[in-house]
Amino acid sequence: MSAVVIDTNVMVVANGRTAAPQATQECVLRCQARLAEILRGSEKILLDDKKRMIQEYKNNLNEKGRGHGNRFWQELVRRMYRYGGNQEKVIIVPITSLAGNGTDFEEFPNDDTSLRNFHKKDRKFVAVVLAYQHDSGQEVPILKAEDSGWEEFKTALAAHGVHVDSICDDNN
């Protein structure tokens, strides 16, 4: 059974060009299709144990919104609470916060100088992937849409076994 980590920008872009004016219409459609595929398919969604990812989704999405990304997030939360995680679609992954700040994690490759400037807010996604891969032995991609912040660190992340799947990139 495969799993994925979903960066917030995938859901924001799936809500359409009003929510993400930088995205092309093709990118919007690809994000919508990928989220629909996840809900229909057997992939599980990884989330952190302290709901940091859920909180980020909540801060960037509308829990009453009708866009594709909003509806995906609503369904994710419904399934998370209905099934209690580790069930049909959601796997809760424990990660260890350093200094209690919620942006630095033991599981993140902190000693890699090439990742020193990696966005603090995205470190939780990497930490979840690495913790899950360590425990399960299964590779897990991070799905992203229109977020150039991931691009400059793709090679450094790949050196640690973290694959970033750029939904909107034709060269992926």
pLDDT tens figures, 100-117:
777 899 999 999 999 999
Q: How many domains does the chain have?
A: 1
Give the pLDDT of residue 87: 60
148 is in which domain, residue-wise? Answer: 3-166
DSSP state of 87: S
Contact criterion met (CB below 8 Å) for 103 and 49: no
CA distance 55 to 48: 10
Is 171 domain-assigned? no
Residues of the chain with pLDDT under 70: 1, 81-88, 170-172
Is 76 domain-assigned? yes
DSSP state of 97: B
Is 172 domain-assigned? no
Other Cβ atoms within 10 Å of 11 Cβ, number: 27
Is 121 domain-assigned? yes
Give the pLDDT of residue 85: 47
In terms of Cα–Cα distance, which of 136, 119, 132 is closest to 49? 132
Is 156 domain-assigned? yes
Contact criterion met (CB below 8 Å) for 13 and 28: yes
Confidence (pTM): 0.92
CA distance 35 to 73: 10
Is 145 domain-assigned? yes
Is 37 domain-assigned? yes
Is 34 domain-assigned? yes
